[in-house]
Amino acid sequence: TKVPSITLNNGVTMPQLGFGVWQIPDDEAERAVTTALEAGYRSIDTAAAYGNERGTGRAVTGSGIPRDELFVTTKLWNNDHGFDSALRAFDASLDRLGLDHVDLYLIHWPVPSQDAFVDTYRAFEKIHAEGRARAIGVSNFLPRHLDRLVAETSVEPAVNQIELHPQFQQAESRAAHSRYGIATEAWSPLGQGRGLLEVPTVVAVARKHERTPAQVVLRWHLQLGNVAIPKSATPSRIRENLDVFDFTLDEDDMAAFAALDEGRRLGPDPEAFG
Ligand code: NAD
C-alpha cells in the first residue's frame, strides 16, 4: 500500500495515515512498529511520555527503509516545558530514538497553568532551524492557545494533533487550523475502539461498502483532510487500518457521519490538563 501524503505549511510532506504507539510497552514497540512498517506504514507517532521511543527507534533504524522515506513524530512532555528544558528533552528523545533528526516535534499539551508554551516553542524554533526537526507543531492546543502562539512566535506550527473522531468532530479547531494553514492530525481516530465501532450508522456504512467499521471511520478522516494515526497491537488490524485507499464514502455516508457528533471528549480538557 502506498499512503498518500499531505503537504505541510513549510513544504514538508507527511503521510496522511500513520501508526500510533501509545500504550504499547517499550519491549513490544519494536515488534509492533516493525509489523506496521512491513504493512506499508511510513509514519510513526510516539512521545517521550509513551516510554517507547527506544523500541520505536530500533524498529525504524533496523527496518532497512531509507530514513527519508520515513516520518517519525515525537512529543515533549508536560514537565519539560521551558526553553532550556525543552532543548534537553529533545536531545534525550533523539538519543532514545537513536536518530539524528525527527520529522515532527510536538508540544504534547499546552499546560496553560505553567504559562510556558511560548518559551518551549522558541526552543522548538531553534531545533527546527538546526534541522533536527523537519517540522514543529503542537498537540491539544485550543484555538485560543494557537492565537497566542502565532502572535508571539515566528514559525507557524505545521500540525495540531488533537482528539478527533466521529463523536467529537472539533469543528471550531478545524476552522482555526484552516485559517492558519495548520494540518489537523486526529488522535484516537477510532474513538479508542470503545463504542464508536458498534454505532449502528458506522456499522451500516461499513456493510454498504463491505468494509469494517474501523475502515469506514478512517476513510471519513481522510475525506475530511485529517491526518489519522490509528493504534493497534494486533497484526491483522494494523494491516486492516491501512487498507483504506481503494474506496470512497459518498455524500450520504459523510452526512450520516456528520450527525454522530456528540461534542464530548474521551480524553482530558486541554485547558485544565497537566
Ligand atoms: P484509537 O482511536 O487509535 O483506537 C485504538 C484502539 O482501537 C485499539 O487499542 C483497539 O482496541 C481498537 N482498534 C484498532 N484498530 C481496530 C480495528 N481495525 N478493529 C477494531 N478495533 C480496533 O486510539 P488511541 O490509541 O488512543 O489513539 C491513536 C494514537 O493517537 C495513539 O497511539 C497515539 O499515538 C495518539 N494519541 C495522542 C494523544 C495526544 O495527547 N497527543 C492522546 C492519545 C493518543
Q: What would the pLDDT profile of 135-153 be if each residue is shown by its tens digit?
A: 999 999 999 999 999 999 9
Task: Report if residue 268 sits inside a domain.
Answer: no
Task: Report if residue 240 sits inside a domain.
Answer: no
- 266 phi and psi, to 5 degrees? -90, -35
Q: Which atom of ligand 1 is nearest to the CA of 23?
A: 32
Residue 200's pLDDT band (cuts 50, 70, 90): very high
> What local confidence, expressed as pLDDT, does residue 83 receive?
98
Q: From CA 61, how far away is CA 178, in angstroms rounded?
A: 34
Task: Report if residue 257 sits inside a domain.
Answer: no
Residue 194's pLDDT band (cuts 50, 70, 90): confident
Q: From CA 268, how far away is CA 114, in angstroms rounded?
A: 17
Task: Report if residue 244 sits inside a domain.
Answer: no
Percent of the chain past pLDDT 70, that is, above it, reads 100
> What local confidence, expressed as pLDDT, does residue 76 receive?
99
Q: Which residues contact 158 (CB under 8 A, 6 or more apart)?
A: 8, 9, 10, 12, 104, 135, 136, 137, 182, 183
For ligand 1, atom 4, name the residue with the nearest CA: 192
Ligand 1 pocket, 203 CB below 6 A? no
From the list 48, 2, 14, 7, the residue with the least C-alpha distance to 229 is: 14
Question: What's the domain range around 87?
Answer: 5-192+225-232
> What local confidence, expressed as pLDDT, does residue 1 receive?
72
Interval 170-187: pLDDT, tens: 999 999 999 999 999 999
Cell of 242: 491501512
Residue 2's pLDDT band (cuts 50, 70, 90): confident
CA of 193 to the centre of ligand 1 (A): 7
CA of 150 to the centre of ligand 1 (A): 29
Counting ligand 1 atoms within 8 A of each CB, the residue from 75, 192, 243 with the most, and so the one to mutate, is 192
Ligand 1 pocket, 230 CB below 6 A? yes
Whether the pLDDT of residue 197 is over 90: the answer is yes
Interval 8-56: pLDDT, tens: 999 999 999 999 999 999 999 999 999 999 999 999 999 999 999 999 9
Distances (CA, A) of 226 to 19, 58, 152, 212, 265: 14, 28, 26, 19, 18
CA of 114 to the centre of ligand 1 (A): 28
Number of structural domains found in the chain: 1
Q: Is residue 48 within 8 Å of 92, Cβ to Cβ?
A: yes
Task: Report if residue 30 sits inside a domain.
Answer: yes
Write the CATH number for 115. Answer: 3.20.20.100
Ligand 1 pocket, 45 CB below 6 A? yes
Percent of the chain past pLDDT 90, that is, above it, reads 99
Task: Report if residue 264 sits inside a domain.
Answer: no
Q: What is this model's ipTM? A: 0.99
- For the chain, count helices (H), then strands (E): 10, 10
Q: From CA 172, how far away is CA 249, in angstroms rounded?
A: 23
- Please tell me whether 108 is known to bind a ligand: yes
Whether the pLDDT of residue 213 is over 90: the answer is yes
Task: Report if residue 252 sits inside a domain.
Answer: no
From the list 114, 82, 130, the residue with the least C-alpha distance to 274 is: 114
Ligand 1 pocket, 270 CB below 6 A? no
> What local confidence, expressed as pLDDT, does residue 243 receive?
97
> What local confidence, expressed as pLDDT, does residue 146 receive?
98
Average pLDDT, the chain: 98
Q: Which runs of consecutive H residues, i.e. helices, occur in the chain?
A: 26-39, 53-62, 83-97, 117-129, 143-152, 171-180, 200-209, 213-224, 235-240, 251-258
Task: Report if residue 82 sits inside a domain.
Answer: yes
Q: Which amino acid appears at position 167 of this protein?
A: Q
Catalytic (active site) residue 50: yes
